[in-house]
């Protein structure tokens, strides 16, 4: 009964701390806090409570009620502590950047170059190799450096940075002022590629795009206006195509032939009709003479 009552009290405390609805900015602030500061804000209800915190409270209650019988819970908590914190922060960042996730893969080159990305982008950096690596056992020793210092991927403070099994460097997501710098990759101690990243905010990206659009429109309006007025004042002239004399000769010959054929056809039809009428008149006249002779 005491255990159930303590569990209910922990749940009631959890409800009290999470009574305030948290927005995206609150979640973003919580995701970049130190562990101690995160716990303090979670106790005040300004950050989501951690699952490991609930387990710790519940474990302390068990330890008081049943001393020496809660070691399994403490071991389980220590085993999942790091994983829970990482998954919690990734979940917060996904909620903050929901609807803006964009994945981009960038392969480094032997020559250093500058490139700009907008915050919230999920970036994957690939170190160039002589041949495409498909199996993990064929991987060389690849090391990543940021501004001359090794990139740390196993710290709780670098939860956004991760190395894949194929030694790709993932930065999920990019953040302003935190991920700026020169990234280099070394294979067996030799440099194989570098890139200088500049991360800009969403507001800055929108501002630049709007400014470029306005400048482009201002520069193009005079040319478009001039083209419209020029076309109105100088209409397009019809092009005169000079015909070949040979083509002209044959076309005239064809016209004459066509007219001759038409006249011959008309003449033939007229003669045929005249002959038919003449025969009809002769037959009518002969029949009348025959009838008159019989009557007399």
The C-alpha atoms of residue 211 and residue 218 are separated, in whole angstroms, by: 11
SS (H, E, C) 39-56: HHHHHCCCCCCCHHHHHH
pLDDT of residue 186: 92
Q: Which residues of the chain have pLDDT under 70?
A: 1-28, 32, 50-79, 81-101, 134, 155-157, 237-244, 246-247, 249-250, 253, 256-257, 260-261, 264, 289, 291-296
Predicted TM-score of the model (pTM):
0.46
Dihedral-angle region of residue 68 (phi above 0 means left; psi in -120 to 50 means alpha; beta otherwise): left
Mind listing the pLDDT tens digit for each residue in 106-155? 988 888 889 999 888 889 999 988 777 767 777 888 899 998 889 888 76
* Phi/psi at 22 (5° precision): -100, 135
First to last CA, the chain: 155
pLDDT of residue 104: 86
pLDDT of residue 10: 47
pLDDT of residue 295: 54
Cα separation values, 206 from 33, 176, 188, 201, 211, Å: 28, 15, 42, 9, 9
* Torsion angle defined by CA atoms of residues 89, 91, 95 and 96, in that order, rounded to the nearest 10 degrees: 20
pLDDT of residue 197: 92
| Residue at token pair 């440099």 | 191
β-pairing verdict for 121-126 and 114-118:
unpaired
What is the topology classification, in CATH, of domain 102-200? Answer: Immunoglobulin-like (2.60.40)
């Amino acid at each position: 009964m005491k255990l159930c009552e303590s569990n209910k009290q922990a749940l009631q405390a959890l409800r009290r701390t999470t009574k305030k609805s948290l927005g995206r900015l609150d979640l973003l602030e919580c995701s970049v806090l130190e562990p101690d500061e995160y716990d303090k804000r979670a106790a005040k209800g300004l950050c989501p409570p951690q699952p490991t915190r609930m387990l710790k409270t519940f474990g302390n209650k068990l330890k008081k009620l049943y001393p020496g019988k809660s070691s399994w819970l403490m071991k389980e908590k220590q085993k999942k502590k790091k994983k829970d914190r990482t998954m919690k922060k990734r979940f917060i960042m996904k909620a903050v950047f929901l609807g803006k996730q964009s994945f981009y893969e960038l392969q480094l080159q032997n020559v250093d170059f500058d490139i700009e990305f907008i915050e919230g982008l999920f970036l994957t950096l690939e170190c160039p190799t002589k041949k495409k690596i498909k199996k993990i056992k064929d991987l060389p020793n690849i090391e990543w450096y940021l501004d001359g210092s090794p990139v740390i991927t196993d710290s709780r403070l670098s939860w956004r940075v991760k190395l894949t099994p194929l030694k790709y460097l993932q930065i999920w997501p990019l953040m302003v002022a935190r991920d700026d710098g020169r990234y280099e990759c070394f294979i067996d101690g030799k440099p194989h590629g570098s890139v200088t990243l500049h991360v800009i905010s969403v507001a800055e990206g929108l501002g630049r795009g709007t400014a470029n659009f306005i400048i482009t429109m201002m520069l193009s309006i005079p040319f478009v206006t001039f083209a419209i007025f020029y076309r109105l004042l100088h209409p397009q002239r019809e092009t005169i195509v000079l015909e070949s004399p040979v083509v002209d000769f044959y076309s005239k010959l064809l016209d004459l032939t066509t007219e001759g054929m038409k006249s011959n056809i008309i003449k033939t039809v007229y003669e045929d009709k005249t002959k038919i009428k003449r025969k009809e008149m002769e037959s009518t006249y002969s029949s009348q003479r025959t009838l008159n002779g019989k009557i007399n």
